[in-house]
Amino acid sequence: MKKSRISVIGMGFVGLSLAVVNAHANFEIIGVESNKEKLANLRRGKTDFYEPNLSKYLNESLKKNKISFTENLDEVKNTDITFITVGTPSTKDGKIDLSSLKKVISGLYKVLKNKQAKHLVVIKSTVVPTTTSTVIAPMLKKLKNVSIAVNPEFLREGSALNDLIHPHLIVIGCVDDKNCKVLETYYKQFYKTMPDIINTDYTTAEMIKYANNAFLATKISFINSIANICQKLPLVDVNTIARAIGKDPRIGSQFLQAGPGFGGSCLPKDLSALIKFTDKFHDLNSFFKAVENVNQLQTSQVIQMLKSMKLFDSKKIIAVLGLAFKKDTDDLREAVSIKLVKNLLKKRLNINVHDPMAIENFKKIFGDKVSYYTKITDCIKNAHCCIILTEWDDYKKLNPSILKKNMKELNIIDARRILDPSKFKEFNFKAIGLGPR
């Protein structure tokens, strides 16, 4: 069976990951991107964000001529399936911004109205429930050759390619079985062993994505709420509690790592969009508002620890280890580091920062307001406190002797719970979810 020809519109995190994985699997891929600078870089095999193996897959696919990039939407006509992966960011008031998506759909209408052959448009962009049926479908309804499917993604930054190659589930939302079968046929071409598939309607597929992310956000805010209680109780460690309840098959261990709050491109944005979308249902979203509120207040736990250490002095140096919202990415969207550093600068503290991947992105935000270091030992040199904000593997290797040799005062805040407190008895060691020793 001849493989489907694929176009992907929007070369962000989801779109580029999807495009290179398909090209790596020997599909012919056209990536559509309107940003000329990004387009030029992609043609040279250069990505504008870090994701494990992404650059490798991209360059291999370019050499094999399996992937090409264009700003010309007309080239979509030469494919069978178009995946739309443009961003749906939050507006200032937290609602979903559909302007980029609407622009793409409008452009697709002009391109596909002259095409005779069947064409499937697949919505991978995250959209609030009813968007496809009330916004997207009406814009394309005059095109009898065009069908639509909603196909949400469940990718984790830092493991996106692996999640595409080994998905836990595929959700396909359609108005009729024929459309679903077209997309299923594509997936049968991609996977040797088919993942589980749930076939449903547009709105249910859209709601599955929001329910998924809202539940993950809930687990994080839940364990952080427990962690904040643990900090008030002598000798109580939230890690032990999380390990225990995670053994319960009804709960599971994932997303029960206490920390300074969740960030990234999905959970904060999608939770906010869900809350704004459901405001019209009055009190039905009070639970999700509580989840969001816990997360927004979580950074204050680190601030309170610094205050208890009596470190609010303009002469003090604070070393921040970890800027990205999680390891194995350079993504700073909704990162705790940004909120924390802004607060510390207001206290007129001197800030040193280190991160294996996100330094350049951090410079774009803070410029010369903070000091940047490529070596951990240089970052903590003469520091009065070391704060670990991201769970990078290099930070897990920190030992008391390295810190004692370089720091001016032995204060540590382990916001990610990656160090063993028993090894730092000589230090003023504080950690989220760790009660007084």
**In which domain, by residue range, is 57 found?**
6-200
Q: How many CB atoms lie within 10 A of CB 162?
A: 14
Q: Answer for the pair 203, 222: CB distance below 8 angstroms, yes or no.
A: no
Q: Are 299 and 339 part of one and the same domain?
A: yes
Query: In total, how many domains does the chain have?
Result: 2
31 φ, ψ (degrees, to nearest 5): -100, 125
Q: Are 68 and 118 part of one and the same domain?
A: yes
Active-site residue, selected from the candidate residues 174, 266, 385, 386: 266
Question: Residue 70: which CATH number?
Answer: 3.40.50.720
Output the six-digit token pair for 383.
């520091």
Q: Are 175 and 249 part of one and the same domain?
A: no
Q: Are 35 and 106 part of one and the same domain?
A: yes
Is 262 part of any domain? yes
Is 437 part of any domain? no
Residue-wise pLDDT for 373-431, tens only, equals 999 999 999 999 999 999 999 999 999 999 999 999 999 999 999 999 999 999 999 99
Tell me the pTM.
Answer: 0.92
At 114 the pLDDT is: 86
Q: Are 142 and 278 part of one and the same domain?
A: no
At 1 the pLDDT is: 62
Q: Are 61 and 104 part of one and the same domain?
A: yes
Q: Are 38 and 165 part of one and the same domain?
A: yes
Q: Are 188 and 278 part of one and the same domain?
A: no
Give the strand pairing for 385-388 and 371-373: unpaired
Q: Are 306 and 396 part of one and the same domain?
A: yes
Q: Answer for the pair 323, 351: CB distance below 8 angstroms, yes or no.
A: no
180 is catalytic: no
Mean pLDDT by 10 residues, the chain (437 residues): 89 97 96 96 95 96 97 95 95 93 96 93 97 97 94 94 96 87 92 94 97 97 96 94 96 95 92 94 93 95 94 92 95 95 95 97 97 97 97 95 96 96 94 89
169 φ, ψ (degrees, to nearest 5): -165, 150
Q: Are 27 and 142 part of one and the same domain?
A: yes
User: What CA–CA distance (Å, rounded) separates 414 from 152?
Assistant: 35
Q: In the 3-class helix/strand/coil scheme, how is the chain assigned residue by residue?
A: CCCCCEEEECCCHHHHHHHHHHHHCCCCEEEECCCHHHHHHHHCCCCCCCCCCHHHHHHHHHHCCCEEEECCHHHHHHCCEEEECCCCCECCCCCECCHHHHHHHHHHHHHHCCCCCCEEEEECCCCCCCHHHHHHHHHHCCCCCEEEEECCCCCCCCCHHHHHHCCCCEEEECCCHHHHHHHHHHHHHHCCCCCCEEEECHHHHHHHHHHHHHHHHHHHHHHHHHHHHHCCCCCCEHHHHHHHHHCCCCCCCCCCCCCCCCCCCCHHHHHHHHHHHHHHHHHHHHHHHHHHHHHHHHHHHHHHHHHHCCCCCCCCEEEEECCCCCCCCCCCCCCHHHHHHHHHHHCCCEEEEECCCCHHHHHHHHHHHCEEECCHHHHHCCCCEEEECCCCHHHHCCCHHHHHHHCCCCEEEECCCCCCHHHHCCCEEEECCECCC
Is 311 part of any domain? yes
Is 223 part of any domain? no
Taking every pair of Cα atoms in the chain, the longest distance, rounded to a whole number of angstroms, is 75
Residue-wise pLDDT for 234-260, tens only, equals 999 999 999 999 999 999 999 999 999
Q: Which residue has the tokens 């680190």?
A: 302
Is 213 part of any domain? no
At 373 the pLDDT is: 98
User: What CA–CA distance (Å, rounded) separates 62 from 201?
Assistant: 36
Q: Are 262 and 177 part of one and the same domain?
A: no
